Amino acid sequence: MKVALAGTESLTNYIAALKANDIEVINTLDIDKALKCDGLLLPGGGDIDPKYYGEDMAGSDKPDRELDKAQWDVLDAFVKAKKPVLGICRGMQLINVYFGGSLYQDLKTKETHSRKNGVDSVHSVKSIVKGNLFENLYGRGFYVNSAHHQGVKKLGEGLVSVLEAEDGVCEALLHKDLPITATQFHPERMSYKQRRDDTVAGEGIFEYFKALLKQLG
Catalytic residue IDs: 89, 186, 188
Q: How far apart are CA 59 and CA 205, in angstroms?
A: 31
Work out the burial of residue 131: count CB atoms within 10 Å of its CB; fewer than 13 is exposed, 13-18 middle, 19 or more buried: exposed
Task: Using alpha carbons, select from 49, 58, 46, 81 the residue that is nearest to residue 179.
Answer: 81
For residue 214, how many other CB atoms are within 10 A of its CB? Answer: 11
Which secondary-structure segment (H or E) carries 40? strand 39-42
Number of H helices, E strands in the chain: 7, 11
The amino acid occupying position 70 is A
Count CA within 13 A, CB hemisphere, residue 198. Answer: 7
For the range 23-27, what are the long-range contacts, defined as Cβ-Cβ under 8 Å and sequence gap of 24 or more? 23/210, 23/213, 26/2
Contact, 57 vs 138, CB < 8 A? no
Residue 63 DSSP class: P
